[in-house]
Amino acid sequence: MSTASEHEHLMRRRQLLGGALALPAIGLGGALLPSLARAADPLVVGGLPVTCNLTLPIACSARGGAFEFSKYSGWPEIKESLMTGRIQAAYMLAPLVMDLADRKIPLKIVSLGHRSGAVIMVRTDSAYKRFSDLRGKRIAIPSRFAVDFLFLRKMLAREKMSPKDIQIIEMAPPDMPAALYANAVDAYCTGEPFGAAAQKAGYARPLAMTRDEWRNYICCVLTVREELIKSNRPLVQDLVNHVQSAGNWLDATPANRAKAAKIAATRKFFNQDPKVIQFVMDNPADRVTYGDLRMIRSEFDELMNLSIEAGTLKRPVAYETYVDESFVKSIKPVSISL
């Protein structure tokens, strides 16, 4: 190798090393986040196999390799992955993000993912006709941080009941239909498609739905680590553009919702029966909605106050602490061609 070539080689190496050392030390223990290792890698976005997360598979499919869906079995696992930096983006429970941000975990909500989509299910052959009939009964919820739990508390307050008037059991949503079938619980409150699965099978019916009782209900929100915002704002903007456009596309036509059910049902995403997801899309058509993904401060304030009353938040959390509105305000709609 000539002296000039050696010099050029050394300069390129120093530039590469300098760039690597300039990367921020992020995540717990100062570990570099793996997804920052190569800019060409897809952004891994965590999510649960629930229809409240349906905009995510659509955004991933429409963007063609820029985003990769990573399926998780529960909120604790997603929470841990975001906290440690194993992933930099995920759909999360809004109150859980508030709590983590209050504990100085560098996270920001950058978009909604859906509206409505929670149900309270009882057995078809039960005598329960009104919510007040559940007094003294066993009701399963996914988590006390879940907005489903806040929905349950809203229904209790409406009937002048309190959580002491029922027996609350925390349970993974996929286990709820079987628990109801076996009479291990009298009702369950959760997001779809785990209500629809039992309803379609014929042994359960909705006693209450957020579409009727809490029209502006939100639970799953697109959340990213602040390091990603600082290191690659265009990528976060691209993700928000696709999630918001996926929401509009989903609510545009029944044909789009049918296509979405087939896409989400595949092994790459939810790995579920497409007929169950389609049942959610159709019964009724606004069981879960996606077209209105505005970030409204008063709605987050309501969730925060309800969470404080429920004891899942210790104190008020400033809106700016856990929300970054800049990406929604800068949305550039994209074409969803699937």
Shared domain for 207 and 64, answered yes or no, is: no
pLDDT surpasses 80 at 5: no
Q: Is 14 inside any structural domain?
A: no
Shared domain for 198 and 224, answered yes or no, is: no
- The Cα–Cα gap between 247 and 128 comes to 35
What pLDDT was estimated at residue 171? 92
Q: Is 235 inside any structural domain?
A: yes
Predicted confidence band at 145 (pLDDT cuts at 50, 70, 90)? confident
DSSP code string of 146-175 = SHHHHHHHHHHHHTT--GGGSEEEE--GGG
pLDDT single digits (tens) 206-233 = 999 999 999 899 999 999 999 999 999 9
Q: Is 28 inside any structural domain?
A: no
Predicted confidence band at 144 (pLDDT cuts at 50, 70, 90)? confident
pLDDT single digits (tens) 148-169 = 999 999 999 999 999 999 999 9
Predicted confidence band at 188 (pLDDT cuts at 50, 70, 90)? very high
Find out whether 188 and 152 touch, Cβ atoms under 8 Å.
no
Distances (CA, A) of 171 to 13, 84, 95, 119, 150: 53, 25, 18, 15, 16
Predicted confidence band at 13 (pLDDT cuts at 50, 70, 90)? very low
Shared domain for 221 and 324, answered yes or no, is: yes
Q: Is 8 inside any structural domain?
A: no
* Residue 38: how many other CB atoms lie within 10 Å: 7
Helix ranges, 71-193 (H): 75-84, 94-102, 147-158, 176-181
Predicted confidence band at 113 (pLDDT cuts at 50, 70, 90)? very high
What pLDDT was estimated at residue 74? 86
- pTM given for the model: 0.86
Of 180, 213, 246, which residue is a domain's last? 213
User: Is the pLDDT higher at 172 or at 276?
Assistant: 276
Shared domain for 273 and 126, answered yes or no, is: no
Shared domain for 77 and 125, answered yes or no, is: no
Domain that holds residue 275: 33-116+217-329
Residue 19 burial (C-beta neighbours within 10 Å; 0-12, 13-18, 19+): exposed
Shared domain for 112 and 123, answered yes or no, is: no
Shared domain for 88 and 204, answered yes or no, is: no
What pLDDT was estimated at residue 18? 36
Domain count of the fold of the chain:
2
CATH number of 72's domain:
3.40.190.10
Q: Is 3 inside any structural domain?
A: no
pLDDT single digits (tens) 31-71 = 334 434 345 689 999 999 999 999 999 999 999 889 999 99
Shared domain for 223 and 109, answered yes or no, is: yes
* Average pLDDT across the chain, whole number: 89
Residue 318 burial (C-beta neighbours within 10 Å; 0-12, 13-18, 19+): exposed
What pLDDT was estimated at residue 220? 95
What pLDDT was estimated at residue 143? 87
- The Cα–Cα gap between 134 and 177 comes to 17
Of 190, 213, 236, which residue is a domain's last? 213
Of 213, 242, 271, which residue is a domain's last? 213
Average of per-residue pLDDT across 169-197: 96
Instruction: Identify which of 217, 223, 191, 222 has the alpha carbon closest to the alpha carbon of residue 112.
Output: 222
Percent of residues, the chain, with pLDDT higher than 70: 88
Range in 57-61, 144-148, 299-303 with the lowest mean pLDDT: 144-148
Q: Is 16 inside any structural domain?
A: no
Q: Is 335 inside any structural domain?
A: no
Shared domain for 105 and 48, answered yes or no, is: yes
Those residues whose C-beta lies under 8 Å from the C-beta of residue 189, and which sit 6 or more positions away, are 118, 119, 120, 121, 139, 140, 141, 148, 149, 151, 152
Shared domain for 316 and 231, answered yes or no, is: yes
Q: Is 10 inside any structural domain?
A: no
Shared domain for 196 and 253, answered yes or no, is: no
Shared domain for 75 and 184, answered yes or no, is: no
pLDDT single digits (tens) 232-282 = 999 999 999 999 999 999 999 999 999 999 999 999 999 999 999 999 999
What pLDDT was estimated at residue 64? 86
